[in-house]
Structure 1
Amino acid sequence: MNISKKMQDAFNAQIAAEMWSSNLYLQMSCWFRKEGWKGFSSWMYKQAEEERQHAMDMAQFVLHRGGEVLLTSIDAVKTSWTDAKEVFIETLAHERKVTDLINKLADVADEEKDRASQNFIAKYIDEQVEEEKNVQDILDSFSHLESHAIAHIDSKLEQAR
């Protein structure tokens, strides 16, 4: 086997985490669709597919290195939210958690002196920077729109005097 047991186990744990993330984003997509938010639903569906693809890529990597992929059960995800902003607040928190998990996976690769795993994981480290930025940009848009709506209401009330 070209991959250590410790590295294999770390990848298997990350594969499960990626599948859980995929389920979470798919559930968010379905919730958005039910609530009539087609754009948000589409965005989350793409996120779900991306997370599933990460799991598949990691599984292939482990297999190509002579390791064994062991799929485990995946816990249920939350199924409803109060509004769209709450979904994205939870998404940012989740992406930060994923960043931590990827960093821990990289730590194992460093400990094992596994250059192939280090190189493979590097793209996920870079991707997490982009993922967190994208979700933060969406949340920033919510904040700007809320301020705009408040200013609009204030202006209308001033005119009503």
Structure 2
Amino acid sequence: MKDIARQSMSIKVESMDLLNGQIKMEAHASATYLAMASWCEQNGFFTSAKFFFKQAEEEREHMMKIFNFLVDTGGNPISPEVTNINHDYSSIVDVFESTLEHEVKVTKSIHNIVKKARESGDIATERFLDWFVMEQVEEENTVRDILDMIEVTGTEGVGLQMIDNQVANWID
């Protein structure tokens, strides 16, 4: 029965495996953003904490979109184990630089899955990922804008409070 089910999947096995890896990456991102929210709360960056709580929820939503897509295509989504979450940051700049670094990795991963889906003729997976491609453009742009604002504001004296207040502009 298992072989028959795998043969009747509308998703390519390679795409399913890559998407399961992406599920894990999205779960890791959600947990990482919760840790960042906690760091922000503990260090008095309350608006930034709200930003990261929202980001954590969004990453979980991304994970669930992929999970449900695999279900809908007859695939086998795997609930990921999340480990190695960093809870220590040296500054608010470190938090947002780490965020951008992570978002760039996610973008590369999504692009890789799109390329592999295209190569294997998995049109449904390729089309499904269109939304994620554009979402990553938005995610990276948001964090770059925040880092630009931090650079302009500076991190001396009241600059830190101004930074935290300005992050509210990126909370929808």
Q: TM-score, normalised by structure 1?
A: 0.88
Q: Which residue of 2 aligns with 1:110?
A: 118
For 1:133, what is the secondary structure of its paired residue?
A: helix
Pick one of 77, 96, 100 that aligns with 2:85. 77
Partners of 2:19 and 2:113 within 8 A in 1: yes
1:15 corresponds to which letter in structure 2?
A: I
For 2:44, what is the secondary structure of its paired residue?
A: coil
Q: Which has the higher contact order (CA 8 A, sep 6+)?
A: 2
Deviation track 1:22-76 (CA, whole Å, cap 9, x = no partner) reads 1101100111011121100000111111001101010000000011112232222
Partners of 2:11 and 2:124 within 8 A in 1: no
Paired with 2:38 and 2:152, the residues of 1 have a C-alpha distance of 26
Q: Which residue of 2 aligns with 1:22?
A: 30
Paired with 2:108 and 2:27, the residues of 1 have a C-alpha distance of 16
Pick one of 83, 87, 101 that aligns with 2:109. 101
Q: Which residue of 2 aligns with 1:13?
A: 21
**Higher radius of gyration, 1 or 2:** 1
Q: Which residue of 2 aligns with 1:43?
A: 51
Paired with 1:115 and 1:78, the residues of 2 have a C-alpha distance of 36
Q: CA 1:74–1:147 in structure 2 vs 1: closer, same or farther (change >3 Å)?
A: closer
Q: Which residue of 2 aligns with 1:68?
A: 76
For 1:71, what is the secondary structure of its paired residue?
A: coil
Percent of counterpart pairs with the same letter? 34
- 2:69 is the counterpart of 1:56: no
1:62 corresponds to which letter in structure 2?
A: L
Q: Which runs of 4+ in 1 moved over 4 A?
A: none
Deviation track 1:110-139 (CA, whole Å, cap 9, x = no partner) reads 122111111110111111111111001100
Identify which range, 70-79 or 55-64, moves more after superposition: 70-79
Q: Which residue of 2 aligns with 1:158?
A: none
Q: Which residue of 2 aligns with 1:34?
A: 42
Cα RMSD (Å): 1.4
- 2:145 is the counterpart of 1:145: no
Deviation track 1:72-99 (CA, whole Å, cap 9, x = no partner) reads 3222211111111110011111111111
Structure 1 unmatched runs, 5+: 150-161
Aligned length: 149
Q: TM-score, normalised by structure 2?
A: 0.83
